Structures are given as structure tokens and as C-alpha cells.
Amino acid sequence: MKKFEIPEYYQSPIISKVKAQRKIQDPRKKDFTPTRLSLGSIDFLIARHFGFCYGVENAIEISYKAIQENPGKRIYLLSQMIHNPGVNEDLQSYGIEFLQDTKGKQLIPWENITKDDVVIIPAFGTTVEIENKLTEIGVDVQSYNTTCPFVEKVWNRSDKLGEDKHTIIIHGKHDHEETRATFSHASQNAPALIVKNLKEAQVIVDYIEGKTSAEELLAYFEGKYTINFHPEIDLNKIGVVNQTTMLATETQEITELLREAMIRKYGEAVIKNHIADTRDTLCYATNDNQSATYGLLEQEADFAIVVGGYNSSNTTHLVELLEPKFPCYFINSEDNILENLEVSCFDIHSKTESIKTLPIKDNKATIILTSGASCPDAVVDRVIQKLLYLTKNEVDFEKIEL
């Protein structure tokens, strides 16, 4: 796999050793057990896969390349490069400005943009409408397009499904940048509808089985389907794709739920005429990170720490997986770890931050540690260092041996 050139301060002395060693031990990435790192009185159980994925590293490399190649020019990002505050703040420190917020609200009017400006398309991609708008202005939309190749893979699969007269069911969050982009691309030549979870997929099943009306379905999914969507026609032949950062297992469960409904309605003999096999759209990095989290669930530990942006979908799903078994603390960075072993952490359900005390007794603990795909390894390193400092463990990080 390609090695990207990213700023050195995103890299790390501890995690880089862990990842290098695991790559040697498990080159085929079949072993999802965590790495146990014993540092003084603290044992860290570090997920087999976590942190920057291919798409994120690609986006960061291209973004800093844009800065280096365009001195004196105005440089814009359509919205956040990735869902990590540290990465976005660093890019802003070089003078980059955001054109929109994460929900698509315009922050800088299009009228202010000229053909001489540089606009970076983030890893999530963008809608066809926005790309056309930039092209009309005269902006070069390709030189610094950082759209993740795995997001583009979903778009290409959607195109093929549309050509075969399928309606595209998108498993995603309707207000997420990537889902908005996928919806835009999918709807160019096919009807499309967005479902967030199994509960929403069941609403489609109820319609397919005649338990609810078309009017009820359309009212339930208001704002989440294409113009002139006709359930009586458009839900006869479907294919499921996903926002690449959603739970892969849930995408598969949604697909199977819809498939079983189609079998009950049409019979298994003709099922291929009514629902496509779209397992090939799942992102490898999302799969790996989530599989590694299941590996963490097989361990025993005092608590878990998940590091990443609070608006990061893939990071949120790691918390969802871990919190039923462990006390789970979702933090942005080491700055959230306070004196007296308190932590300012984010609750994914109430969407609020609160101060909690880490359950560390006598400066000893076994801690599960992982991070989202948009979190730099250097941040995870600093979390380790902060915890060791607060538990009075002096460790020479240059001499760590695995």
C-alpha cells in the first residue's frame, strides 16, 4: 500500500513501533487481538487496527501539498477536511478557510470565490451540485480533490446499480457530508432513499409487506429521498450501499432484513431480480477497525478510552461497541485528561461533555485504548504519556520494546 508523506508531528514514537511490529507479526491482518503494552504500573491493551486510514492519509498529504504549492493564494476547504479538531485547526493555522460547516451551511458566499482560488475537496467528497458550481466559477476541482477512493467506490457501485434500474438504499446519516455526497451522486440516474439504522429499515419492510401505505412511508422519510420517489415502483428492485464510516455489521443486517422481506414477497427463486448483492462497497478500514474493537471486547480491562473527534461517525461507532462492556471515555485528545485522574469526556447519547474520574486505583490499571480513523497516532501517544505522568510512571519512550 502507498506510503504517504504527512507532517512529522502527526507521527509517533510509541504507536509507530506498535504498528510496525504488528505488521511484521501479522502481515495478512488476520489476528484481531490487541497489543499489550506494559509501561510501569499501567497495562495498555491497544487495538490491532486504529487511527489514520488510507483515505485520511491521502487527504492530509494532498492538503499540505496544496499549501506548499500555492504561496500567496487564497486556499479554501469545502468543509472540515476530516472529523478531527486538531487536524482542522492545524490546516486553519496556515490560512485555510472553510466554505461550509459540516451540515452544509454556507460560511463564505460563493460570490467571494474566484477562478484563481484553490478549493480542496475533503475526504468525504462533495455533491455533484457543488462540484458543478465550482466548475462554473472556474475553480480547478481535480488538482486538490481528496475524496477517499473507498467513497468513490460506493459512488461507482451506485452508478452501476442505477444503470441496472435499482433504487439505491443508502445506509447513513442524512446530514453527514459523505452521505449527502453519495445521495447526490446516486440520484443522478436512480431513485435513492437514506436509512439511518435497522429501525428505519423496518419501516421499508413494513411497506414492502403491505403493512403501511406509500403516504406513510414518504412522511416518515421526508427529506431523505429523491424527487418524484414512487414507493410502489421504486421499492421493487433495490441495492444497499453505505456511508463508509457506519457499522459494517449494521449495513449487512439492514441488507439482510430487506432481502428477507423481498423473499417473502417475491420468492427466493427470483430474489436476484429484486435486491443486489452489495457487500463489496464496505470500506476495508472501517471493517478492520471495527473487527479490532470486537477483539478488544474479548479482553478484561478496567476501562476503555476512545480518542477522536466528537463529530466523527466511525469513532462514535467504536464507543457504541465498547461501552456495553467497559466504562468508556470518549475524548478529543490528551488535553481532556485532567489532574487528579479526572477526564472531560463526551457522551454520544446526550451529546454533552462531563467530568468523570478514571477508575484507577493505586496508580494501577489495565486500559483499553483505540482511536478513530481521523485521529493522528501522535495524539494517542500523548494520551499514553499523560496517563503515565499522572500515575507517576517514568518511562523512556525511546527504549520501549515490544
Q: Which domains, ranges and CATH numbers included, belong to the chain?
A: 8-53+285-399 (3.40.1010.20), 54-137 (3.40.50.11270), 151-282 (3.40.1010.20)
pLDDT at 277: 85
C-alpha distances (whole Å) from 326 to each of 187, 343, 371 are 41, 16, 16
pLDDT at 112: 97
Residue 242: count of CB within 10 angstroms of its CB: 27
320 Cβ partners below 8 Å, 6+ apart? 247, 348
pLDDT at 265: 96
Prediction pTM value: 0.88
pLDDT at 156: 95
85 Cβ partners below 8 Å, 6+ apart? 309, 332
Instruction: Report residue 366: phi and psi, to 5°.
Output: -110, 120
User: What's the rounded Cα separation, in Å, for the pair 168 and 189?
Assistant: 10
The secondary structure element, H or E, covering residue 330 is: strand 328-331
248 Cβ partners below 8 Å, 6+ apart? 242, 282, 283, 286, 287, 290
26 Cβ partners below 8 Å, 6+ apart? 48
pLDDT at 328: 98
10 Å CB burial of residue 115 (0-12, 13-18, 19+) is exposed
The C-alpha cell that represents 70 in the structure block: 500555492
pLDDT at 234: 98
DSSP β-bridge partners for residue 98: 77
pLDDT at 396: 75
pLDDT at 2: 62
Long-range own/partner contacts, residues 249-252 (CB < 8 A, 24 or more apart):
249/290, 250/171, 250/197, 250/198, 251/171, 251/282, 252/279, 252/282
pLDDT at 80: 83
pLDDT at 9: 67
101 Cβ partners below 8 Å, 6+ apart? 79, 107
What secondary structure letter does DSSP report for 364? B
The secondary structure element, H or E, covering residue 331 is: strand 328-331
pLDDT at 334: 96
**Catalytic residue list:** 178
End-to-end CA separation in angstroms for the chain: 24
Q: CA angle 150-117-83, nearest 5°?
A: 35
pLDDT at 384: 96
Q: Along the chain (402 residues), what's the average pLDDT of each consecutive run of 10 residues?
A: 69 87 90 94 96 87 94 93 84 93 93 96 94 97 93 95 96 94 96 98 98 98 97 97 89 95 96 88 80 96 96 92 98 95 97 97 97 91 96 81 66
CB 52 within 8 A of CB 377: yes
DSSP β-ladder status, 352-357 and 365-371 = unpaired
Q: Which value, in Å, is the radius of gyration of the alpha carbons in the chain?
A: 23
User: What's the rounded Cα separation, in Å, for the pair 185 and 181?
Assistant: 6
User: What's the rounded Cα separation, in Å, for the pair 300 and 368?
Assistant: 9
CB 147 within 8 A of CB 124: yes
pLDDT at 280: 65
